[in-house]
Amino acid sequence: MADGPDISRLAALLGDPARANILTALMAGRALTAGECAAEAGVSAPTTSGHLAQLVASGLVLVSIQGRHRYYRLAGPEVAEAIEAMMGLAARVGLNRTRLGPRDPSLRAARMCYDHLAGAVATELYDALITAGFLAPAPAGLTLTPLGRERLAAEGLPVDTPANSRRPLCRACLDWSERRDHLAGALGAAIAALALERGWCQRTPSSRAVTVTTEGRRQLLALAEPRSAQQLVQPAPQTRHLAHTAGSKQGACNVRRS
Amino acid sequence: MADGPDISRLAALLGDPARANILTALMAGRALTAGECAAEAGVSAPTTSGHLAQLVASGLVLVSIQGRHRYYRLAGPEVAEAIEAMMGLAARVGLNRTRLGPRDPSLRAARMCYDHLAGAVATELYDALITAGFLAPAPAGLTLTPLGRERLAAEGLPVDTPANSRRPLCRACLDWSERRDHLAGALGAAIAALALERGWCQRTPSSRAVTVTTEGRRQLLALAEPRSAQQLVQPAPQTRHLAHTAGSKQGACNVRRS
DNA sequence: CGGGTGTTTCGGTCCCGCCCGAAGTGTTGC
DNA sequence: GCAACACTTCGGGCGGGACCGAAACACCCG
């Protein structure tokens, strides 16, 4: 014994249902106020405050104070990935929080998974990208093929790993509702940002759920087609200045339409 | 709330120090008896028995009964990978079980990480494979290049992902003692099996530590060279029938030299 | 400078679950 | 068949930590 990192202290933090609820809610990628966290956790405000203090002290969660609100968010993709890994194993082992059938069908259709899309639409897109030959389930899990690079670069999507980042460009993420993979990593995050930017889908105010329009779904799946013609005809009435900076994830999300 | 897998029950399982010690010990890839688990956990036999029952009931650990002994082992690579993910995050966040400096230097030099090699030698090999152009830190993390395929196939190592398996061929695994990556996945496991088979290294009886001979280290790093000449001169006095079947991991390990 | 609101701190209660000693069950060996 | 061994089950003790109500603190607004 006495080697390696202390996995038990970290796991104990995730092991309380209230804290796990908070972290699961933060997986949606948005910062939540302490009160919203309390609602998600299902416990009182004082109890939530204690839990949040522990999460901040451990470095899993960051807090930014704005006026009399305190916004809590996950510390980074590494934290989200570890939680995803736990979710994947929990789903595989058969630990489901509730019957996941009729509970919230909109969540199964599409939702945010930290900063990328998950759910039925996301697995459809994933499969389409595979069959189109844009993504290859190569050795380490996923590779963007030259064909895919060309097609997606034309949309302004990032096709290279930033040299300074440990985060992979594309990564397969196990979708527990579908039991199949969807696209994560920097590319997955950029596609989600693109879809939100162009109005293909909209976030539900205080939920992980995402509503995808029928046209949006068509456009999303069109990313897996050789360079669709109708997209040139339709000049996208929305603004077009997306994703110039890689760090625009937060900036794109905090346009509150409450 | 009420969506997704129950991460808290799984995390609570890992959140107890005794159970975490057991799982960390099982990360060495070998099956342990209940008594050995108790010694690793640092608690009494009855307490350990209860913990093991929980781990088996949750599906994280499998048990095989042989006579009056019960051998416990991890349920599979998925469990090991999730634990690795937790270890990586714990190390990143700064939760170290003890000062990891002088405690056990042999562990830092080389050790087993479930079924592949970790430690200083493993990160050396990893870097050498990268600089040799055998592995490329491609989009999803790691790709085996055509150059690497040819070289490693000549050693009898697997260079294709078995179609039926979800496990990636090669994967980067964060080494917490070195804070750098080493090679995991099916290829990493096969290289570890090769090294043990050919006597390049030997496992310490009841520890994760692995002792690497100086010649073994040279041979191991020679895997990252274009096809070494001296290896042809030296006809490997050991037996040579390794790794015909992909499932030979367990078979190669249970030659007990106690 | 006072209400109203969001958040934290404090104090106390209570329950879950970790833990061990003793006894019970199954297996090996003499 | 009896002793030794490996492991589990049972019973009770005990501590940590989750939880909430009340109060204190910080901030915005009028």
> Which of B2, B103, B144 is closest, CB to CB, to A3?
B103
Long-range (24+ apart) CB contacts under 8 A made by B232-238 are B236/B198, B238/B197, B238/B198, B238/B199
φ, ψ (nearest 5 deg) of residue A95: -95, 100
> Which of A4, A14, A144 is closest, CB to CB, to B87?
A4
Question: Closest residue of B to A101, CA-based?
Answer: B3
- CA→C1' distance for A77 and D19 (Å): 31
Measured CA to CA in angstroms, residue B161 lies from A131, B165, B200 at distances of 18, 7, 25
Do B145 and B90 form a contact (C-beta atoms < 8 A)? no
Sorted by where each begins, the domain ranges of chain B are 7-75, 78-253
φ, ψ (nearest 5 deg) of residue A140: -80, 5
Asked whether strand C has any atom less than 7 Å from the CB of A68, the reply is yes
Q: Which residues of A208-235 are buried (b: 16+ CB within 10 A; e: fewer)?
A: bbbebeeebbebbbbbbeeebeeeeeee
Residue nearest to nucleotide C18 (CA to C1'): B47
Predicted confidence at residue B207, as pLDDT, reads: 74
**β partners of residue A123:** none
Predicted confidence at residue A210, as pLDDT, reads: 86
B chain contacts of residue A94, beta-carbon cutoff 8 Å: 59
> Which of B1, B15, B142 is closest, CB to CB, to A8?
B15
Predicted confidence at residue B25, as pLDDT, reads: 93
Give me chain B's average pLDDT, please: 80
Q: What is the ipTM of this complex?
A: 0.72
Q: Between chains, do A82 and B94 touch, taking CB under 8 Å as contact?
A: no
Torsion over CA: B97, B100, B106, B107 (sign): positive
Percent of chain B with pLDDT over 90: 38
pLDDT digits (tens, 9 = 90+) for B183-235: 988 899 999 999 999 999 988 776 778 888 889 999 999 998 887 554 444 44
pLDDT digits (tens, 9 = 90+) for A51-69: 999 999 999 999 999 888 9
The Cα–Cα gap between A156 and A212 comes to 21
Do A14 and B15 form a contact (C-beta atoms < 8 A)? yes
> Which nucleotide C1' is nearest A47 CA?
D19
Long-range (24+ apart) CB contacts under 8 A made by B28-32 are B28/B111, B28/B112, B28/B114, B28/B207, B28/B208, B29/B74, B29/B112, B29/B114, B29/B115, B29/B249, B29/B253, B30/B73, B30/B253, B30/B254, B31/B64, B31/B71, B31/B72, B31/B73, B32/B71, B32/B72, B32/B73
Asked whether strand C has any atom less than 7 Å from the CB of A46, the reply is yes
Those residues of chain B that have pLDDT short of 70 are 1-4, 94-105, 138-141, 163-166, 179, 206, 228-258
Is pLDDT larger for residue A30 or for residue A21? A21
Predicted confidence at residue B120, as pLDDT, reads: 86
pLDDT digits (tens, 9 = 90+) for A176-216: 677 677 898 889 999 999 999 999 998 876 677 888 888 88
Q: Between chains, do A1 and B24 touch, taking CB under 8 Å as contact?
A: yes
Question: Closest residue of B to A158, CA-based?
Answer: B139
Predicted confidence at residue B77, as pLDDT, reads: 87
In strand D, which positions have an atom below 7 A from any protein CB? 5-11, 17-23, 26-28
CATH code that applies to domain B7-75 = 1.10.10.10
Question: Closest residue of A to B209, CA-based?
Answer: A3
The Cα–Cα gap between A65 and A39 comes to 19
A chain contacts of residue B169, beta-carbon cutoff 8 Å: 139-140
Measured CA to CA in angstroms, residue A9 lies from A38, A88, A95, B226 at distances of 23, 20, 21, 45
Percent of chain A with pLDDT over 90: 35
Do B159 and A129 form a contact (C-beta atoms < 8 A)? no
